[in-house]
Structure 1
Amino acid sequence: MLSIENERAKKMDIQNIVDEFVELKARCKFQIEVFHDPVHGQIALHPLLVKIIDTPEFQRLRSIKQLGGVSYVYPGGSHSRFEHSIGVAHLAGELAYNLQSRQKKLNITDEDILCVQIAGLCHDLGHGPFSHLYDTMFMQKVKRQNNKWTHEKASVWLFDHLVNHHGLKVEMEKYGLKEEEEEEEWPFEGRGEEKSFLYEIVANKLNGIDVDKFDYLDRDCHHLGLNNTFDYQRYFLLARVCKVNGRNHICLREKEAGNLYDMFYSRYSLHRRVYQHKVTKNVELMITEAFLKADLFLNLSEATKKENIEDYINLTDEVFEKILYSSDEENMIEAREILQRIHKRSLYKFVGEEKDTLSNEEKKKLKADLERGLLPPGSLEVHE
C-alpha cells in the first residue's frame, strides 16, 4: 500500500512540473530557457535574460559567495550571487505578472515585466569578493576622500559595459525595449510616475518589502538548514497596487500584517544567528586584514575605478586563493599568514573594546600597556 502511495505522489509531482512548464510557455511569446533552481523549482527565463547571463560580467557572480565568511561557521552557506540573481529575476517576473493579470487598468506591458526582470537579474552585478565584506569592511578602510564607490554604482557600470560590449542594445530593441523620455520632476529613468510601483518590486526603498529579500531569505535558509516561515507566494496572490498620497504603491490588506511580521522576524533571526555571528565577523575581519595587506601588490581597491572595469570583472573570491598560495615571500607573507590562520582555525581572540573617544597617542599607550601586561610584543592587533 505504501509503495502505491509513493508512486502516486511521484506521478503527481511530475504532472505538477509539466503543468507549470506548459503555463510558463503559454505566457511567453518566445523560445524560453528552463533552469532548475533548488529553491523555486522550474524557472523559465526570457531569451534576453539568458543572453545577459551568458556574459563574463554576469558569470563572475558564480565565484562570489552570497554570504561572505558565513561558510566558515555554517558549511552549507557557500552559495553564490549567481543563483540568487537568477532567483530574484524569476520572482520579479512572477510578482509583475500577478499584478498585470489582476489589475488590467495599470497597463503593465510585457516590456515592463521584462525590464523588471532585468533589474532583478542585474541588481547585484557590482558586488566584490565575499560580497558585503568587500564594500562594507574592505572598501570602507581604503576609501580615499570623496571616493563614493558603492556596489550599487559598480552594478550600473558593469551593466552599461555588458550592454555595450556584447551588442545587447540590438537585442533589447528586438524585444521592444527602448529608452523613454525622462519626466522633469520624476527622479527615476525608464518609466513614468504612473508606474512608480514597478520600482518597488526588486528594491523597495519605501518599506524594504521586495523580491530581493524574498529570495535571499528563502535561499539562505535552504542552504543553511534553517526554517523560513514567511510565505511570499501568499504575498504575490494578495498584493495590489493602490494610490497613496497621489502615487501608486504596492499594498497589502491589513489582515496580512502577520505574514510580513514573519518576513522581518526571519531577517532578524538570520542576522542574529548567522550574518552577525561572532565567529563569522571574526573570520571576515581577518579576510579584510589580509586584503588590506595585499592591496598594495594586487591593486584590489584600484579595480573599483570606472576606467579599470576590466580588472573589476576579474576580481572575485578567487583572490583569497591567490593570496593563500602566493609564492611572493617578500610582499605577500603577512597576508598569506592571516589566511593560513583561518584554515588552521587559529582565529583572533577578543581582548576588549573601547569607545572611539581616545586620541591617537592614547590608543598607542593603551596598546603598549596591553602588550606589556598580557601578550608578547607585536602580537596585539588593534582594529578600528
Structure 2
Amino acid sequence: MLPPLTIVDKGDERMVDEYWGEIKDPVHGYIYITEAEKEIIDSYPFQRLRRIRQLAGSEYVYPGANHTRFEHSLGVMYLAGRVVENRNISRVIGRDEAEMVRIAALLHDVGHGPFSHVFEHVLIKRLNKTHEDMTSWLIRESELRDIISDMGYDVETIAKLAVGKLAGGKIFLNQIISSAVDVDKLDFVVRDTYHTGAEYGFVDVFRLIQTFDVFDGNLAVDLGAISTLEAFIMARMESFKSIYFHRVGRAAQIMLAMALEEADEEIGLTGFKTPEEYLAMDDYVVWSLLKECEKSRAIIGNLERRRMLKCAYEQVFYVRDKTVTNIFSAEEFRNQIRDRIAKRANIDPDKIVIDVPTVPSVPYYHSILMEPMEIPVICRSHDGRKELKRLSEISGIFDVLRGFVNILRVYTDEENRKIVSRAAMDVLGGIPSSAKISF
C-alpha cells in the first residue's frame, strides 16, 4: 500500500483540484477523487466496468480472481496522480495537464468488451478493432463526450491520451499511460497478484514512481531505482507465466472465445452500430446470451461444470527460429500444424486448438531511442550531467528477460488427450527450444 497522497503546490497553483471524496481500495488504500472524476465514475460507460472482469477465465484457477476493470481503472488513475505529483514531472506540466492525465488514465480501459481480452480476440478477428479503438470511440461518441466537454477539456485530446497516442511535444504524457513501465502495468501487476494470491515478489511501486523523470521528452527511470525496476520486470514476467498464461486459465479463455465466435452470427455480438449497443454488452448479459444460443450452449455448459479443454502438448521457446516465428505470427501456419496433428491422430481438426500466447511488447510511443520493451534509465556522468541509457545496457537481468517468452500449447478434449499428445510430439518435437518450463 502506498503512502497518503501529498498534493504538490506550484506557487499559487495546485496540481490537482480540491478532492470531492475518497474510495477505499484494497491495493492502494484511500483513492482521492475530484468532483469531475466522480462525474465520470458515475457515468454509465464507467459503471459498466463493474461488470467486466479483469481476468476472465482465471477464476477457474484462482477463485479470488473476480476483480473487475472498475477497480483497476481507479487504481490506474490513482497511480497516474502519483506520477504527476512527482516533483520531476510536476515541474514540466501544468494543473490542467495533470488532471487530463488522471482522467485519461481513469478511462484507459473503458472500451473493453465482455470478458475483457477474450472478447477483444473476436473484435480483432471480425472487425480489426482493439479495445483501445473502442475506448477512443466511446470517449468521442458516448455520454462521456459531453461530460468531458462540460469540464472544459478537449474530448479529442482525452480520447488520444487515454490510449497513449496523443501527438505533440510532451510525448512522456502518453508514456505515463502506455509504455513498458506505465501506470496500467504497475497497477495490474500488484492488483492481479493480490486477487489471485499468486504473489511472487514485492514491487515497490511508490519507489519507481518517485524516480520517474523526463529526459529528451521521454519518461525515464533514475538509475537509483534499478533494483526496483528489475523486480517489477521479473514480477510481470512471473505474472504472465503463472496467471495470464496458466494452462487451465487459458483453456477457459479459449472456450469462451470459441463460444463468442460460434454465437456471433446468431446474436450479433460484433454487429453493434452505436456506443449504446456496445455498452449494453457486459459479462452477465453476454453469458446469458451464450447460454441461450444453440451454437454456444454446449461450450458454456462445459464451463459451468468445469469440463475444460485439456493441454496435450506444451513447449516454451526463447529462440528466434524461422519456424517458431511462423508459428507465432501466421494463423495459416498454425492451422497447417493443427491439420498435421489431426491427421496423425486420426481425428477431426476441429477437436484441436493451437494456442500461442505471447508476452505483449509495448514500445515507448514516438521514441526513436527505444526498442520494444526497452526502458530509458537516467544515469549521471562524473561531472554530474544526466545521460540516458537503455536498461539493457545496465541490467543483465533485463537483457535476459526482455526477449519474448513464446509458449505453444495444443489443446483437445479429455477423450482425445493421449492420442493428440503423441501426435503433437511427432509433429512438433523437432522445433528448437532452449528451455522447458513447467508451471
Q: Which amino acid aligns with 2:214?
A: V
Q: Deviations over 1:53-94 (max 9, x none)?
A: 111111111111111211111111110001000110111011
Query: 1:239 aligns to what?
Result: 212
| Contact kept in structure 2, 1:180 and 1:191, CA below 8 Å | no
1:215 and 2:179 correspond: no
Structure 2: give runs of 5+ residues left out of the alignment.
Answer: 158-163, 315-322, 355-439
Q: Pick from 307, 318, 324: which aligns with 2:284?
A: 318
Query: 2:149 aligns to what?
Result: 169
Name the structure with the higher strand share: 2
3-state DSSP of counterpart to 1:77: coil
Residue 383 of structure 1, CA deviation: 3.1
Counting only pairs closer than 5 Å after superposition, residues 104-183 of structure 1 correspond to structure 2 as 105-106=91-92, 108-136=93-121, 138-140=122-124, 142-143=125-126, 147-163=127-143, 166-170=146-150, 172-173=151-152, 177-178=153-154
TM-score (norm 2): 0.67
Structure 1: give runs of 5+ residues left out of the alignment.
Answer: 1-12, 182-187, 327-331, 373-377
Q: Deviations over 1:198-255 (max 9, x none)?
A: 2211112xxx011111110111111111324211111122222223xxxx22222223
Q: Which amino acid aligns with 1:63?
A: R
Q: Pick from 60, 74, 83: which aligns with 1:95?
A: 83
Query: 2:416 aligns to what?
Result: none
Identity among equivalent positions (%) equals 28
TM-score (norm 1): 0.75
Q: Distance in 2 between matches of 1:64 and 1:264?
A: 26
Number of aligned residues: 328
Q: Deviations over 1:245-271 (max 9, x none)?
A: xxx222222232211111111111011
Q: Pick from 12, 17, 27: which aligns with 1:39?
A: 27
3-state DSSP of counterpart to 1:33: strand
Q: Distance in 1 between matches of 2:212 and 2:339?
A: 57
Query: 1:6 aligns to what?
Result: none
| Contact kept in structure 2, 1:55 and 1:162, CA below 8 Å | no
3-state DSSP of counterpart to 1:214: helix
Counting only pairs closer than 5 Å after superposition, residues 227-376 of structure 1 correspond to structure 2 as 227=199, 228-243=201-216, 248-303=217-272, 307-323=273-289, 325-326=291-292, 332-351=293-312, 357=333, 367=342, 370-371=345-346
Q: Distance in 1 between matches of 2:302 and 2:282?
A: 21
3-state DSSP of counterpart to 1:34: strand
Q: Distance in 2 between matches of 1:93 and 1:358?
A: 43
| Contact kept in structure 1, 2:50 and 2:68, CA below 8 Å | yes
| Contact kept in structure 2, 1:66 and 1:131, CA below 8 Å | yes
The worse-fitting range, judged by mean Cα deviation, of 20-29 and 272-281 is: 20-29
Superposition RMSD in Å: 3.3
Q: Distance in 2 between matches of 1:37 and 1:351?
A: 40
Q: Which amino acid aligns with 1:342?
A: L
Query: 2:353 aligns to what?
Result: 383
Name the structure with the higher helix share: 1
